[in-house]
Chains A and B, each alone.
Chain A
């Protein structure tokens, strides 16, 4: 503090020593506040979320991005290389790969988000019940173990054979496969939370169980659940591609990245673009979702990285 910076009107005793001015060693810390600050601290959220938003944009506005009808066949124009007429080339039935890839974003994203949402919702419910009710827990966990041991691919094929190939069946099959893991996660959180002092206090003071669940337990499960949901979304999109590869995915009249690749896979040595373009889009989207999940997890609690 220099003499000039003292407030006016202050009486200074004559033998008081005043330190000489020193420059600041530490520069001012501008706290990163707000949403933008949040993004700057966890860049992966911004990066992943941004890419995802781009994909969503492409999916929603597909009809306006220079696309034709994705199911319009023209066998006379089949397997043309990418060029002026077909930006990403044409497939084995003469359909425009560019249009199919853009419209395919809708299905793939729908599958990813739906599975993430439903698996989380159902898994949450089951996990909560299981965590609170001892008796239900033992039964439920055995059932979940059993379901986890059935490969989802088999489930999907069986479902498809049961009715028909459709987006709903794909979502259903993958959801059933993911629910056990979510319920296990929620159950784990619930069990550990029940030991917390504030929950014990709530119980001791006579709070009813539903209130305990909604006020104390639920908010703490939402964070890891959200992170897990992003990973489920990514896994679901890849699983959809694998199901289409085997022939148990969405019907060919509804393009998805998975079934565009599946249909074109036999030709990939001669016409690689049919597999290449949807693969790129799928990889980018899955990457984006994974990065988003990583970022969210790091922002909530980096120690979750050992569990998720």
Chain B
């Protein structure tokens, strides 16, 4: 088992290398480095060249790439061109909001969607089933920002139950923190809920038709214990898989949600950095995303062993 983990962790290195190469090359090719923007309106071409040299942007591709990789290996993600702050510091400032948003969305989505899927499977073919599934499909048919606007309008502006925008750090109290996260999580979670509910229902249907369920029922096991003890545990593998796939979706959706609700998270940081060509920040954040994604996949693969003893590495 440990050998498997070590092998998997080592295997992330080539993946990260691919990502690093890809992102770096893309940025290298993109026209309009920040030197011209920084130089401002009054600068001469010589000034622009000076700035470019001081940022190290005039060195050849391999030298720049090599220097960056060497820095990464030493734990230095570089310094932002526009704020002069270390990239790691900027990321550290913005991690909490994005992480909070993703975790709350995840918990919300799973706790709504899994029961939804189970109920739909249990009542297969009835109106409830159809309603639940229709609602689920609706979840990923409406763009996130439309949902966000409508929610903000109703609950924040008209009813004044929740704040319109912003983020309160957890250190300032659980309830203020939660208040700011409810609307964004619901908006972002819609897609997720839809996905998880559908997969849960389908998996439960398949599992419920298996022989061992019939056996359990014949032995007199109650409704609830059948559903949760036997069925759900076996359905867990695909459900957990979809949760993992959904994390990539979340990152994309988080960018939009952070813009609509003015949450100072990593999504906005990345978009701002791209539009300004703040290379060190872009490279640092994308690398971080990739690393997290790969890590999540590893955790999910390990979780499989918990749910399905037949899976062994």
Which positions in A face B, CB cutoff 8 Å?
142-143, 145-155, 157-158, 161-162, 181, 234-235, 238-239, 241-242, 245-247, 258, 261, 265, 268-269, 275, 279, 282-284, 286-287, 290-291, 294, 302-303, 305-307
Contacts and interface: CB of A to CB of B under 8 A. Distances in A.
B131 interface: no
B16 A153 contact: no
A268 B149 contact: yes
A149 B274 contact: no
A303 B204 CA distance: 11
Nearest to A244: B143
B264 interface: no
Contacts of B169: none
Contacts of B151: none
Given A145-B294, A306-B238, A242 B144 contact: yes
A234 B140 contact: yes
Contacts of A150: 19, 22-23, 286, 289-290
A54 to B, nearest CB: 16
A162 B145 contact: no
Given A245-B145, A294-B137, 18 more contacts: A142-B14, A145-B18, A148-B248, A149-B19, A150-B289, A153-B252, A162-B26, A234-B140, A242-B144, A242-B255, A246-B255, A261-B146, A265-B145, A268-B149, A279-B142, A279-B146, A282-B142, A283-B138
A305 B256 CA distance: 29
B27 interface: yes
B142 A154 contact: no
A221 B217 CA distance: 37
Chain A residues touching B, majority SS = helix
A171 B206 CA distance: 36
Which of B143, B205, B274 counts the most chain A CB atoms within 10 A? B143
Nearest to B241: A307
Contacts of A291: 137
Interface stretch (B29-37, B48-56, B67-75, B82-90): B29-37
Contacts, number: 139
Contacts of B255: 151, 153, 242, 246
B149 to A, nearest CB: 6
A154 B18 contact: no
A283 B238 CA distance: 27
Interface in B235-254: 238, 245, 248, 251-253
Given A149-B290, A151-B251, A279-B143, A158 B27 contact: yes
A172 to B, nearest CB: 12
A287 B145 contact: no
The 8 closest A-B pairs by CB, nearest first: A305-B202, A146-B18, A149-B290, A149-B293, A286-B141, A283-B141, A146-B19, A287-B141
Interface string B285-300: 0100110011001000
Nearest to B294: A149
27 contacts: A142-B15, A146-B19, A147-B19, A149-B19, A149-B293, A151-B270, A153-B271, A154-B274, A155-B26, A158-B274, A161-B275, A162-B31, A181-B245, A239-B252, A242-B252, A242-B253, A246-B259, A247-B275, A268-B149, A279-B142, A290-B137, A290-B140, A290-B141, A302-B205, A305-B198, A305-B201, A305-B205
B251 A161 contact: no
Contacts of B275: 157, 161, 247
Interface string B1-31: 0000000000100111111001100110111
